[in-house]
Chains A and B, each alone.
Chain A
Amino acid sequence: MKDLRDAAHRVVELALRQGAKQARATTYKNREIGLEWRDGRTEKTSEATSFGVSFQLYVDGRYASVRTSDLRPAALASFVTESVELARAIAADPFRELPDQALYEGRSSADLELVDPALASFDSHACRRTAKEFEDGARSGTSASAILSVTSGVSVNHSQSFCFASNGFQGDRSDAWITLWGEVSVKDPNGRRPEDGLYAAVRHLRDLPSSAALGEASTALAIGAIGAKKAETKVMTMVVENRVARRLAAALVSALTARRLQQQQSFLDGKLGARIGSKHFTVIDDPLVSRGLGSRHFDDEGIAAKKLVLVENGVLKGFYVDDYYGRKLHMAPTTGSPSNLLLRGGTGDLESLVRNTKDGVLVTGFLGGNANSTTGDYSLGVEGLRIRNGVRGEAIAETNISGNLLTLFQNLSAVGADPFPYSPTRFPTLVFDAVQFAGA
């Protein structure tokens, strides 16, 4: 960490000497090992350590944000000089300044358990063993003969960074995570080769699910997609499995940023304090979750991390407000980007929520589509299983859902108690009434 700290200080010092009024630098180092395994042997291995520095310059009321991986001292010095010149060449912006020091204060000192010492010795052999277990699990069942191919992979990341700002902020960050993923392709008599798979990303090795079990479940998913057909074009209930619910979270988050508000590109503009969803819709950004994949003590601008209530019982309560757009909008900064996004859990799990669904679709995957953050209109491809009278039916694919996000959130009728633990978006299983499906 000392080398990162020294480098960050050096860049800020150089920038100030070149005439910057303020500067902030973040230096980082990331070590990644990765292995991909396919059909009984290693497909690909990779390993590297990456370095770089990014910095923001505030020069004569002007602003530039730059990054380089060329850290040769002479190259870095001339890059700082050029970057100061770059800022000088553009228009002044009265809203550009480093954040008020008060925003740096109150930083939590809680141990977020972001580094598992056991991961340091998780080498490429361990990656290979774990990836192989996925395939062994995938091929362990009675449907193994339908399998065309199994690919799996493991990667381990160790990351360190140091951030220093000329108005008094400094902070360091170390974190590590391991990702396991795999995909199974199977033969469908109708000529398709449906593929499906599962993944898990965790900070602590002991939180990693069994690779073999993940493989076995992946095969079941792919086999379940055999014979998939379009759903009917009709209005039905939609049950969204927790592991794919983040697609809907992304549509919400993009409309919750202060930039979108200020640029008049958010359908949630003017709705603070208003109802935008059902009573089940409570969404919180919590940066201080122990072992959370999005956990942090401070954000990219150095703002001390705090819990941010975005939606409470259906009422819009907050936005992602960074320092710059906060100044433009006269709103108090919260944080500019999501950390861990939580949707308050209800009762039950996937099984009970499916059982309670009379006529609907269990969505196990999204395919493409988009949401218009200015208007809230969305149209997304989905795949999954038809549900009738609480029982899973045939596989469906080549089907779309569409509508407006405000209506969708209002129609959130039940929420599981099963947040997905392997993503920074920890959404549970969600049930929406009256969703327009378009298929056959």
Chain B
Amino acid sequence: MTPQRGFFFDADRCVNCHACEVACQAAHGLSPVTHFRKVVEVWRGGFPEVTHTFVSISCLHCADPPCRRACPVGAISKLPEDGIVVVDRELCTGCRECYAACPRQAPQFGADGVMAMCDLCLGLGSMPACVAACPADSLFSGAMEELDDLAAKRGGKTIGGTEGPSMYVAHHGPELPIDALVIGEGDTVRHGGPPNRRQGG
């Protein structure tokens, strides 16, 4: 099997502090409205029996990335040594087919219109900035085999569909609405208070 790096996320510990988001932006020098990573809020139920869950997501470095399949110029590939999904920014034409194909709308297009997204801080050295930042110890990264143990211990399951996202999510509570876990457009300031709200179920 091809080695694969990915994430383990513990939704029972995430508190929506946004440290991962901003650490990522700062580490990659992103514009304030471009997010390689975002914390998505999920509300379920009605007052007072509501639940509020947060999921920190980025590109999930899928086993069979829909973005790669969608790219008409072959700019997107998976690195053989760790399965990280990368884009060749020289080849990218900014057609946004990858954005349309990604269930999480993870590919981002900054001022230059060329795609960029999470690369697990390739080239920045050790631990991804988001993982290093997380004050709640809810986000981890590593080889998926290593994360298997963590997932077994904490009750994590891989999320998503046939594309095979490389992320375990531990969560005790109503099932998370996978299709609500979306990063989305990065070129406008969202309006109105806490961002990323997606009303689940």
Asked if A pairs with B, the answer is no
Q: Which residues of B contact A (CB under 8 A)?
A: none
A interface residue numbers (CB < 8 A to B): none
